[in-house]
Amino acid sequence: MLVLTGAGISAESGVATFRGPDGLWEGHRVEDVATPEAYDRDPALVHAFYDARRAKLETVAPNPAHAALARLEREWSGEFLLVTQNVDDLHERAGSQKLIHMHGELASGWCLACDSRFTWVGAMGEGARCPSCAATGKVRPDIVWFGEMPYAMDRIEDALARCTLFASIGTSGAVYPAAGFVQTARYVGAHCVELNLEPSQGSIFFHETRLGRASEIIPAWVDEILAQFVQS
Ligand code: APR
């Protein structure tokens, strides 16, 4: 089983989504805060955007949807992988372990001087010092920006090729390659289910779409497939 999550799973925890009412892209231009060119042009603005999002994480907690996916990982005896587009740490805090952050993490820093990556807590700012090489002013958020390659695509494509059940949760299906995962899963014969507040751009590719708030529909879905699995 491969589960893909997006910002919608964290919305009820108080973490802003990107598109839709009050979305992050309503208040910021992607070109100003989420591209390598933006970082080269105005690193202070980019750091301020991510420092604010990192600070917000200290005030939020996982919701029942995150907890349900952690339970699913524990009780599902087949192969399981959770791939998240989210850069928050709510899946980890809920107990998920078999997890890939394909768009990076707010809790990680990347030094452009020595290419090392490391845990980062609190504000980073322009003058951050690398804990590995001590260089200052070369530490950037370890976030995959538009135009950059997502992380672990080889592992994700390998898991997709073998999956028999693909679930997409809380994502608008607006950004590739994540938005194309359902087509690969469908091609290899997986049952594809979408669980979201509203139909996404990729709804037509799913065998099944369940609409509702993640904190309600995900625990119910997990109960259902675990019971179904026990029967089989
Ligand atoms: N429960 C379930 N789904 C929800 C909820 C909720 N409480 N609230 C919102 N949603 C849904 C919305 O209907 C929407 O379809 O979550 C989806 C969020 O979509 P986006 O804001 O586009 O977030 P996401 O799909 O994760 O964006 C993908 O785009 O900007 C890039 O890198 C960024 O990872 C991000 C990627």
pLDDT at 48 over 90: yes
* CA-based nearest residue to 170, from 213, 224, 219: 213
Instruction: Kindly give the number of the ligand 1 atom that is closest to the alpha carbon of 144.
Output: 32
ipTM above 0.90, yes or no: yes
Q: Pick left, alpha or beta for residue 66 (phi over 0 → left; psi -120 to 50 → alpha; otherwise beta).
A: alpha
Bridge partners (DSSP) listed for residue 133: none
Residue nearest to atom 36 of ligand 1 (CA): 175
d(CA 224, CA 219): 9
Provide the mean pLDDT of the chain.
96
Cα–ligand 1 centroid distance for 195 (angstroms): 11
What is the rounded average pLDDT of the residues 58-80? 97
- In this predicted model, what pLDDT tens digit does every residue of 84-93 receive, in sequence order? 999 999 999 9
103 in active site = yes
- Residue 41: Cβ within 10 Å count: 12
CB of residue 64 inside a 6 A radius of ligand 1: no
3-class secondary-structure state, position 60: coil
- Residue 26: Cβ within 10 Å count: 12
- In this predicted model, what pLDDT tens digit does every residue of 130-175 receive, in sequence order? 999 999 999 999 999 999 999 999 999 999 999 999 999 999 999 9
pLDDT value at position 114? 98
| Residue among 31, 33, 196, 216 to mutate when testing ligand 1 (max atoms within 8 A of CB) | 196
Q: What is the pTM of this model?
A: 0.97
